[in-house]
Amino acid sequence: MSVSSPNEEFLTKRFVIPHMFEIMNPLLAWTDMFPMVQSTAPVVGYKQETVSDSTDTKKETPKLKTTSGQWTYVNISQFSMKSAILNKKGFAIKIDQDALDYTEGVDEIQRAFRKTAFWIAEDFNDRISDEITASATALAGDWAPAEVWSDANATPIADLEDLEDVFIREGYPYRLTDVFVHKTNFKEFKKYLTSIDIGDFKQQNLYGIPANGNKDSIDVPVVGATVHRLLSGVSEGSVIAMDRNNPGLTVYYNPSRRYSILNGNYTTMVNGQKISKTLAYGFNYNRYTDQETHEEVIQMWYDNVPVMHEPYAIATDIGI
């Protein structure tokens, strides 16, 4: 007859994977921003847009129908084909037998989960930011904030209006919906909004007000965009701008049939409401006993790769 320790259930795969997602979800800056696609191979082949609709060399104008009743055939420029390799990144942690045998040991287990969840989420944020920095459109002088946002003469709203304008490119459908900034710049922006004296109507309907529902974002009505605070993945003074309605980046992931849960959900809080989300990201888990020390070894890793397929849907710059 098998005998289990009091805290044994907290190290089972069916508990650990959803629990780690619950811890990581508030830390993942790009949650719900980009599509997640399950990969069928370790090497991902994807298509990247390289030309706008208006500058396509094969662009045509509609022609009159011919006397024979046929329409004129047109050709469309092909995508650029690229590839990326899924990467496994994670940790191995040792949990001593006492943590399993005594009820109080659950604190040690929870502490291990909390710390590794933070580290994994931070790394995942950085990987997406690195792909954005490497492959998104650098505005490179097309956008010039009046002053850095810490300056007394800074005009963040005017800067965002200019950013919205340069984000629009002929031949592309992209419109600014989301702006990501460093936590220091977010604080400066919030201070600007709470210090200006422009009247309630203009404040609420044009400039925006820091809301209680989500302390990591502020809606700015005049530009139709939301400014987000990033804790990692962007340096102070930098900005990442994007169109969430036309996501330019996709995350391909691999949940191992042996070490993951292929179907399932976890619960998280969004604006004070509990909602259910689908397990993704390619998070995997394994556990075994060190027969010499009797410690429990738990391995946690994620297996995915973010790739940019529409570079003009995301823009980067510095200067705030």
Domain count, the chain: 1
Residue 178's DSSP bridge partners are 226, 242
How many Cα atoms occupy the beta-carbon half-sphere of 9 within 13 Å? 2
Close Cβ partners of 236 (under 8 Å, ≥ 6 residues apart): 182, 184, 185
In a domain, 185, yes or no: yes
Q: Decide if 65 is inside a domain.
A: no
What pTM does this model have? 0.78
Residue 27 pairs in a beta bridge with none
Residue 51 lies inside a defined structural domain of this protein: no
Question: Residue 154 half-sphere exposure, CB side, CA atoms within 13 Å?
Answer: 21
Q: Are 157 and 221 in contact (CB under 8 A)?
A: no
Alpha carbons 181 and 235: distance in angstroms, whole number: 8
Residue 80 in any domain: the answer is no
H or E element: which one contains 116? helix 106-135
Is 298 inside a domain boundary? yes
Instruction: Write the CA distances from 64 to 36, 53, 60, 170, 271, integer angstroms.
Output: 43, 21, 12, 26, 54
Q: Give the pLDDT of the chain (320 residues) as one tens digit per residue.
A: 344 677 778 888 888 888 998 898 888 888 788 988 888 776 665 555 565 565 666 666 666 666 666 665 655 555 455 556 677 888 888 888 888 777 777 888 888 889 989 998 899 999 999 999 999 999 877 899 999 999 999 999 999 999 999 998 888 889 999 999 999 999 999 999 888 877 776 777 667 766 655 678 899 988 999 999 988 888 999 999 999 999 999 998 888 888 888 777 878 877 667 878 887 778 889 998 888 888 888 888 888 889 898 888 999 999 99
12: left (phi over 0), alpha (psi -120 to 50) or beta: beta
What pLDDT shows up at residue 79?
A: 47
Query: Structural domain of residue 121, as residue ranges?
Result: 1-43+86-320
Helix (H, G, I), strand (E, B) or coil at 296: strand
CA distance 29 to 216: 10
3-state secondary structure of 21: helix
Domain assignment present for 48: no
Determine the Cα angle at 118 with ends 259 and 288, to 5°.
30
Look at strands 314-318 and 238-242 and give their pairing: antiparallel
Question: Is 62 within a domain?
Answer: no
228 inside domain: yes
**DSSP tag of 137:** E
Tell the residue number behind the tokens 């036309």, with chain if given: 246
CATH number at residue 124: 3.90.1690
CA distance 185 to 166: 21
Q: Provide the pLDDT for residue 95.
A: 85
User: 3-state class of 46 per DSSP?
Assistant: strand
C-alpha count within 13 angstroms, C-beta hemisphere, residue 155: 8
